[in-house]
């Protein structure tokens, strides 16, 4: 895959700098350590059911420590609800078994221009604060002879969004996955998102949004980028 050497160098450098900092020094800065979501080797030893039971117990402890009364009717079921939501929904993209199955089709129409699927709404969560990242993804590719169902582009975005994320990694994971599926370098991903850890806490900036992009192959050509931006803004 064509992640440029410069970005690989940057990963390595970032990793070295990170190791030399304490987490208080890192503070609220959202640092990005690599393409792969950092997972333990034994991440899937526990079943989903076992994970939900443990998370529910631990979340009940967090609520209890904060002084909430778990005997209250409104709060009693919260630990189980949170656990189920984490494993089955908002973090279900951590499990490779939940990756969408994608069938490719031959490009019968010989359409060889860029295809843009824009305004794919997604909900993710910031891995530094576990609060939502809400945004739109725009995905584009130029077929190398294979095409993919449009809804699958959407599903791939949702799969990678359903992990604790940083926006840069989300963008690159979608881009690299599409390059591999579509057997082409010519893939672009643009993500425009709001981070609740920025808008609702910390510096409380309610108007800023973060834009990240992944341009592979033909999309490194400034003309192609302009064309893509016209599709997206049109
Ligand atoms: Zn955050």
What does 106-173 look like in DSSP terms, one character per residue? E-TT---SEEEEEEEEEEEEETTT--EEEEEEEEEEE-SSEEE-HHHHHHHHHHHHSSEE-HHHHHHH
- What is the Å distance from ligand 1's center to 200 Cα? 10
What mean pLDDT do residues 70-86 have? 98
Give the chain's mean pLDDT: 89
CA distance 134 to 143: 29
For residue 97, the model assigns a pLDDT of 96
Cβ atoms of 162 and 93 within 8 Å: the answer is yes
For residue 32, the model assigns a pLDDT of 66
Known catalytic residues are 126-129, 167, 195, 197
Letter string b/e over residues 86-116, b meaning 16 or more CB atoms within 10 A of that residue's CB: bbeebbbbbbeeeebeeeeeeeeeeeeebbb
Evaluate if residue 11 carries a pLDDT over 70: no
For residue 3, the model assigns a pLDDT of 46
* Banded pLDDT at 34 (limits 50, 70, 90): confident
- What is the Å distance from ligand 1's center to 83 Cα? 21
For residue 234, the model assigns a pLDDT of 76
């Amino acid at each position: 895959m064509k992640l440029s050497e410069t970005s690989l160098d940057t990963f390595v450098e970032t990793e070295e700098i990170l190791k030399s900092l304490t987490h208080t020094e890192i503070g609220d800065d959202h640092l990005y350590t690599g393409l792969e979501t950092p997972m333990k080797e034994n991440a899937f030893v526990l079943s989903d059911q076992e994970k939900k039971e443990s998370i529910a117990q631990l979340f009940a402890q967090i609520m209890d420590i904060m002084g909430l009364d778990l005997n209250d009717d409104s709060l009693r079921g919260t630990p189980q609800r949170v656990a189920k939501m984490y494993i089955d929904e908002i973090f279900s993209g951590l499990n490779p078994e939940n990756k969408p199955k994608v069938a490719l089709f031959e490009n019968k129409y010989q359409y060889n221009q860029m295809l843009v699927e824009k305004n794919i709404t997604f909900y993710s969560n910031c891995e530094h604060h576990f609060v939502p990242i809400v945004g739109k993804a725009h995905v584009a590719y130029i077929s190398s002879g294979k095409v993919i169902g449009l809804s699958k582009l959407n599903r791939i975005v949702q799969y990678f969004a359903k992990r604790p994320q940083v926006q840069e990694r989300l963008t690159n994971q979608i881009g690299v996955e599409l390059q591999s599926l579509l057997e082409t370098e010519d893939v672009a991903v643009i993500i425009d998102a709001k981070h609740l850890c920025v808008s609702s806490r910390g510096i409380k900036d309610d108007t800023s949004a973060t834009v990240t992009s992944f341009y592979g192959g033909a999309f490194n050509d400034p003309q192609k980028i302009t064309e893509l931006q016209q599709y997206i803004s049109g």
